[in-house]
Amino acid sequence: MTERSIIFFDIDGTLLNHDKKLPSSTKEAIFKLKELGHEVAIATGRAPFMYRDLREELEIDTFVSYNGQYVVVNGKVLYTNSLNTTSLEKLTEVALRNEHPVVFMDHEDMKANVPEHHYINESIDTLKIEHFPTHDPHYYKKRDLYQTLLFCREGEEKQYEQEFQDFDFIRWHPVSVDILPKGGSKAKGIQAVVEKLGFPKENQYAFGDGLNDIAMLSSVTNSVAMGNGEEEVKRAAKYVTKSVEDDGILHGLQMVGLL
């Protein structure tokens, strides 16, 4: 290897399999990359507190959280992009009338605007994390929020998309949608990182599988979609590797010549 590269990995369905486990081949591949002198980073829709253990296990301190809204390089906050509080308050009022709960999220915690709801339980449980939102309907006040979760069935988010133009809505679960600042994406977060660290386009790589990875895979020069990803995601990538369950990370790194 003559040049260092930077490789961004999504978490769910990419680093972690469908049981939210880290395959041994993936862990070994990550440390091999680091031994070779490459920079390894995470780019996820998750909040920082949702994958602290994973970062510690893989010894990664550069990451793009909240689909690009909270970016950390070498353990220091580099870039943030928060939700418009006035619009969020109005959206919350509409959601309450529609009996659609919301969960407010900053870099430290997440709080629900209702005491409990089965949609929240159903979707958050799939992440298999210890952290669970507690009740605080005023959590959005006097703090920066980088993402909010709206809980509704597929198609019901359309009314919010039409009414709240300064937000983007990305579905991640049959009963839950990410609410992000308009135009925010993993791609923008990654851009901030590579500009800070000085990696040229030809030395940038990204792996992902979900709809929130499309902007990232479309913008990063050497992009790899997981075999378990949706067809739309695969079309956005330069390469397609095997499934996460079938040593997809290791195979993909070998395919692009990094290992």
CA distance 8 to 183: 20
The token pair at 1 is 């290897």
How would DSSP label each residue in the chain? --S--EEEE-TBTTTB-TTS---HHHHHHHHHHHHTT-EEEEE-SS-GGGSHHHHHHHT---EEEGGGTEEEETTEEEEE-PPPHHHHHHHHHHHHHTT--EEEE-SS-EEESSS--HHHHHHHHTT--S---EE-TTTTTTS--SEEEE---TTTTHHHHHH-TTEEEEEEETTEEEEEETT--HHHHHHHHHHHHT--GGGEEEEE-SGGGHHHHHHSSEEEE-TTS-HHHHHHSSEE---GGGTHHHHHHHHTT--
Active site residue 10: yes
Query: Nearest to residue 171, comparing CAs of 194, 186, 150, 197?
Result: 150
Which one is catalytic: 10, 178, 209, 247? Answer: 10
Residues forming the active site: 10
